[in-house]
Structure 1
Amino acid sequence: MTHWVVLLMVFGSVSGICFILCRTLFADLDHSGTEHSGGWDGRSQLEYFISKPKLRKMQIGLAVVGALIMLCLLLVAGVSVWAMPAIVLMAGAAAYSLPLLYYRQKVKKRNAEFKSRLLDVVLGLNNGMRSGVALPQALEVVGRDIGGVMQEEIAMTLYEYRLGVDLTEALTRLEKRMPDDNLKLFVTAVGISQQTGGSLSDILDKIIETIRQRSIMEDKVSTLTAQGRFESIVMACAPLMAFIILYLLDRKLMEPLVTTLLGWSAIFVVLILETIGYLFIKKIVTVEI
């Protein structure tokens, strides 16, 4: 009982110090979403949410914090000294990668939202142009009606257009910012229509049908590969859950796994095999359309 009380006290004190440290170092991160180090065309999508210097600053800070917390936990738990450096380094590396994973997930969510609304945009543009509205005006109306990520990107495209950039070039820059096959198809159609003078509405009808068929196919593929994705998650979590359960049931039986060189070697091999298996299954269930 005393062992766990000391462990909780150490964890609480270290966590409090780390919280104060993070609050001091990253107090300006709340305003990072509106600050960018480069132009729209030259920045990575991560910089929609945080600039690269601030991301690096956060990664280094969390790596130090994670390593310190793990070191304190290992000292209290009585883990062998020879095993501590490797564990502390792994904890620091894991903490270092957390901010990047978090912001990449936000980028992925933003791209998914943009992709899901693209069909509505093309439909709105087609209806507007059939009623006699020019493409720039139709873009403005559709972007305002849809809102969200789509409105932000369309507003940036129209801003460049009003500064003198050709509309096709502005749309091409949009496609570079938000890479998507359907958007590329739309931008190509607009460029060809402006060069040849053909009817853009007729081309948009075909693009709309193509996007619909592609969306149906993507939904089918996602459904068929759902079991494989679930199996990859279960496979990755099963050894950890088994270790926790066995450790709680018979601590003496599992202690050699975390207190001996052979035990840590086995854990290292298992982690490598688990990673290979997860990546292998993920590769199988990833289907490009």
Structure 2
Amino acid sequence: MDEQALLPLLTALVAALAIAAAAYAIMYPYISADRMKDKRVASVSESRAKKIATQSAAELAANRRKQVTDSLKDMENRQKARERPSLRLKLERAGLDVEPRIYWIASALSAVICAVAVQIFLPASVAAYRPMIMATALFVGGLGLPRLVLAKITARRQKKFLRELANSIDIIVRGVKSGLPLNECLAVIAKESPEPVASEFREVVEQQRVGVSIAEALDRMTRRMPLSEVKFLAIVIAIQQQSGGNLAEALSNLSGVLRDRFKMTAKVKALAAEAKAGAMILASLPPGVMFMVQSASPEYIAPLFTTKTGHLFVVGGLVWMSIGVLVMRKMINFKF
């Protein structure tokens, strides 16, 4: 009788244990530490995969930047290895189709004109220093003034080139997108662009016709037009030819950068105009005052030119004036 009474209890106990075991087997993966471990491993693996993908993109961009940097360094090293620019190259940079001997003849004429002008307008009070002043006039007129004029012409030509370079790059971008080869796009620029862009790219096209590669022709153009923007163009095209890539997109980005640089240049010049005007007024004030005093009362200012003490003051004033002008020029001459 007791066994018959215990049998239902044992059956219920076994059934409860079986249900509990089944429930534990089902819920074990969700409540065990292995499940938490698997979740952590999965999250770590996913984050690692994302990190590897991010690193691969970053490494690709870093390799691209390194390639551009190496190309820049290679170009700079090649330029440093070359000799100083010859007079013929300087004349080419200025856009002057003349021989170096013409430049030296013009320099000699400039020296003679400066010496004659000093001889005519030199006051008698400084006649004792006439030989030194004449030598200075010959030196300035023969070497200083022609080089200054040549540098001004070169700078003005480079500004015109930069003003039209972005438009020329846009011509290349549109031509490449429409299916034209790069050399045909350069030929279009050589025909339709204004000077001096047309003449520079015409030289590139002519060099291609005699067997020079585009990269080498653009490298030679950087010698005639030593601007960072032209170097960027040459590097972009050289890298595209070596490693491939979307040339239209790269040149489009370069065109946008050049336009932004040009806008920033115009903004900086506008902001610096007031400082430049102030510097010009301060620099012209001492000689202006001296000229007015000389015109109103010559005997009052005569000791400056007739006595040794006056000569010392004049030299000291010129030195300090030159230092002040150079300092003001350094303050308003922004590099960008």
Given the two structures, how large is their TM-score scaled by the length of structure 1? Answer: 0.78
Comparing 111-120 with 47-56, greater Cα deviation is found at 47-56
Tell me if structure 2 keeps the 8 A contact 1:175–1:184: yes
- Partner residue in 1 for 2:268: 221
Cα distance per residue 1:49-76 (max 9 Å; x no partner): 24433323332333233224323433xx
Matched, 1:203 2:242: no
The residue number in structure 2 matching 1:71 is 119
Identify the range of structure 1 (243-252 vs 41-50) with the bigger mean alpha-carbon deviation: 41-50
RMSD between aligned alpha carbons? 2.0
Question: 1:272-287, aligned counterparts within 5 Å?
Answer: 272-287=319-334
Q: How many Å separate the matches in 2 of 1:205 and 1:179? A: 22
The aligned residue for residue 95 of structure 1 is 141
- Mapped contact 1:55–1:100 kept (Cα < 8 A): no
Q: 1:17-96, aligned counterparts within 5 Å?
A: 43-47=88-92, 48-49=95-96, 50-74=98-122, 77-96=123-142
CA change 1:65–1:204 in 2 (3 A) is closer
**Matched residues in 1 for 2:321 and 2:140: separation?**
16
2:248 counterpart letter in structure 1:
S
Deviations 1:72-117 (A, max 9, x none): 433xx42244232333333333323222211221111111111111
- Aligned-partner Cα distance in 2 for 1:52–1:266: 42
Separation of aligned partners in 2, 1:56 and 1:119: 36
Alignment of 1:175-214 (within 5 A): 175-214=222-261
Q: CA deviation at 1:262?
A: 2.4
Corresponding position: 1:235 with 2:276: no
Distance in 1 (alpha carbons) for counterparts of 2:325 and 2:99: 31
Listed one character per residue, the Cα deviations across residues 215-265 of structure 1 (whole Å, up to 9, x for unaligned) are 222222222222232233223221111111111111211222223332232
Q: Which runs of 5+ in 1 are unaligned?
A: 1-40
Q: How far did residue 195 of structure 1 move?
A: 1.4
From the superposition, tell whether residues 220 and 80 of structure 1 become closer, same or farther in structure 2 (CA, over 3 Å): closer
SS in 2 for 1:198: coil
1:80/1:259 contact within 8 Å kept:
yes
Aligned length: 247
Q: What letter matches 2:173 in structure 1?
A: N
Contact 1:46 1:104 in 2 (8 A): no
Report if the CA contact (8 A) 1:67-1:92 is conserved.
Answer: yes
Report the counterpart of residue 269 of structure 1 in structure 2. 316
Residue equivalent to 2:3: none
- Higher relative contact order (CA closer than 8 Å, sequence separation 6+): 1
Work out whether 1:135 is the aligned partner of 2:179: no
Contact map agreement 1:257 1:264 (CA 8 A) in 2: yes
State the distance in 1 between where 2:331 and 2:269 align.
12
Maintained 8 Å contact 1:235/1:274: no
Q: Who is 2:299 aligned against? A: 252
Question: Deviation per CA, 1:2-33, whole angstroms, max 9, x where unpaired?
Answer: xxxxxxxxxxxxxxxxxxxxxxxxxxxxxxxx
Alpha-carbon spacing, 1:88–1:259, altered in 2? closer, same or farther (3 Å): farther
Residues 112-137 of structure 1: CA deviation (Å, up to 9, x unaligned)? 11111100101111111111111111
Rg: which structure is higher? 2
| Percentage identity across paired residues of the two chains | 24
**What secondary structure is seen at the aligned counterpart in 1 of 2:281?**
helix
Partners of 2:116 and 2:266 lie apart in 1 by 45
